[in-house]
Chain A
Amino acid sequence: MSTSTPPQKTLSRIAANRLQKELSEWQINPPAGFKHRVTDNLQRWIIEVNGAPGTLYSCEQYQLQVDFPENYPMEAPQVIFIQQPPCHPHIYSNGHICLDILYDSWSPAMTVSSICISILSMLSSATQKARPPDNDRYVRNCRNGRSPKETRWWFHDDKV
């Protein structure tokens, strides 16, 4: 279920420097439960997620795809689940994640590492495995590989 539209523009010098810093920091101190799959593409990171023990997603593995815009970190990266996304009330079956820090509440002081921790926290606080109620309608509207960053999200639930 990969949205494989590659980012159009190459990274700016500032963005490349910052991503190099993030990557070396990740290699020293990766967030617990995540594994960066090594590629030569700095602009697209593939990250393996392991469900936290003692939660609904324990012993399950998922993959995140993180695409960085040209003017990262001023603009948020695009973060989606690829292959089989977890069944979660805020994760659509096309891999899009309804999480405010990926869109409106993004801050340039956030990092890939902090995003990963937020996503794992969101997974871990789920009380039931279910798709969002509007999953089918939303996925239908996103047919031609639209980025979740173009979605006008409504962040209504701060419990899960």
Chain B
Amino acid sequence: MATRSGRSRKSTEDIVETIKGASNRRMARSSSNRAVLSAGNSPRTRSAGQQVVAAIVIEDDDDDVQASSPRAFAQARSSGRRRPPTASGVQIPEVSLGLRLGPADSFSPAMRAHRNRAGGPIVATPPIRRPLTIDLTSPSAANDDCVIVRESKAPQVVKRKIAPAVLVEGGEQAGQASKELKLTCPICLDEMKEETSTICGHVFCRGCIQGAIAAQRKCPTCRKRLTSRSTHRIYLTAKLGS
């Protein structure tokens, strides 16, 4: 409880700061979260909290508004306990009252309907559509798990990209320091010239595979039946850098 009250106090400071500065949008968004968190459970205090949200939404007059206000709202809903009203609603008189009260009236009915729904199908109202947009850029309690997923995915992708390169380099003559990709044709046993792949994926020199198909009409590696049109030239990059 101590931490919570501390947090809400901090939030009011944030709000004051943000509204004064009004430059950092992320700050504004996080402060709007906390403003709602600090809202009480009685209808009157709730509307006070919503007024705060509305005030900040107006400050943020671009697309970010969509991301911030529903999350704040969802967070407020998910936090079961409602704390008694703090001075948050009172301590921001810097914002002009006209701006604050106007949108609050227009926002309140929809939000209240959303909050009061007991399985009632409110489909077309904006509060239901909005939670689909989750803001991942600012980590908070609501989207912590999303951030973790993104972090755990990134190294895996990097590993997959690196692994084959390492394998090929190891498969080549280990003594050589050159990073050039050298392939050996299974037919002439010489360095691959004009790399050409069969439709079954086996790679040979162009001349070698053409001769092999002319002689046997099948893949030298897997014996799949082939015609002279079953091959195509492939172009491999010679460098296997990082």
Contact = CB atoms under 8 A, between A and B. Distances in A.
B189 A74 contact: no
Interface in A46-96: 71, 73-75
Contacts of A73: 187
Contacts of B220: 107-109
Contacts, number: 41
20 contacts: A17-B190, A18-B188, A18-B189, A21-B188, A21-B189, A21-B190, A74-B212, A74-B215, A74-B216, A75-B215, A107-B216, A107-B218, A107-B220, A107-B221, A107-B223, A108-B187, A108-B208, A108-B211, A108-B215, A108-B216
A18 B218 CA distance: 20
B221 A14 contact: no
Nearest to B221: A109
B189 A25 contact: yes
A22 B187 CA distance: 11
B188 A17 contact: yes
A109 B187 CA distance: 5
A74 B204 CA distance: 13
Contacts of B188: 14, 17-18, 21
A2 B113 CA distance: 100
Interface of B: 186-190, 208, 211-212, 214-216, 218, 220-221, 223
Nearest to B220: A109
Given A14-B188, A74-B214, A106-B216, 17 more contacts: A17-B188, A17-B190, A18-B189, A21-B189, A21-B190, A25-B189, A71-B215, A73-B187, A74-B212, A74-B216, A75-B215, A107-B216, A107-B218, A107-B220, A107-B223, A108-B212, A108-B215
The CB with the most chain B CB atoms within 10 A, among A22, A73, A105, is that of A73
Range, interface on chain A: 10 to 19
Contacts of A108: 186-187, 208, 211-212, 215-216, 220
B117 to A, nearest CB: 70
Contacts of A71: 215
Nearest to B209: A108
Contacts of B190: 17-18, 21
A142 B208 CA distance: 34
A54 B190 CA distance: 37
B225 to A, nearest CB: 13
B192 to A, nearest CB: 13
A75 B211 CA distance: 10
A105 B221 CA distance: 11
